[in-house]
Amino acid sequence: MFLNLQKQILEMIARGSPLAETARRICEEAERLAPSSICSILLIDPDGRLRGLAAPSLPAAFCDAIEGVAIGPTSDPAAPPPIAASR
């Protein structure tokens, strides 16, 4: 199951599918595999602000509310930090 999904995502990348389309597919499949979860993929722009890439199940109002939010040392310390994967 997971290998087939990985293959499909890699094929999307190899075909040059738009990043947002590929990210949306990843979110949809993650939510399908874990039905009680909601997936989103965010980017951090060069200015250190959040930019939504894919969030198919999140309410638009929530996505709008976090769009452009600054993160970093000057961010609200009470706000939960986004989870970032490191390489």
Encode pLDDT of 42-87 as tens digits. Answer: 999 999 999 999 999 999 999 999 999 998 766 665 565 565 555 4
Instruction: For residue range 26-45, list pLDDT tens digits in order.
Output: 999 999 999 999 999 999 99
Q: How many residues does the chain have?
A: 87
Q: For 50, phi and psi rounded to 5 degrees? A: -70, 140
Give the residue from 44, 66, 1, 52 showing the smallest Cα distance to 23.
Answer: 52
E strand or H helix at 66? helix 60-66
